[in-house]
Amino acid sequence: MALEITDASFEEVVLKSDKPVLVDFWAAWCGPCRMVSPIVDEISSEYEGKAVIGKVDVDANQEFAAKYGVRNIPTVLIFKNGEVVDKQVGAAPKKAYTDKIDAAL
């Protein structure tokens, strides 16, 4: 399962990570988000120990969604050394996400 990231834990989990981080910005009411969620959980298992995979519920945690200009969900951001290095807006196949993580590894 992907980590549940909140505004309170975002800096520690994402920005200070020594590994690449995939962050899925989502909401419970979003249909495409529900399609992406199992893919993100699958990736979480496959990249355990190599990358951090997490989700931010934008309804409950708006600070970092706003900071990174997330206007449409799902939006997946890839962070490396605390910086955004790639993004995917809208639902995409699993390979689109894994290619972005692999490029950041």
In this structure, are residues 5 and 63 in contact, taking their beta carbons and an 8 Å threshold?
no
Q: Which residues, in sequence order, are CB contacts of 11 under 8 Å at separation 6+?
A: none
Residues annotated as part of the active site: 30, 33
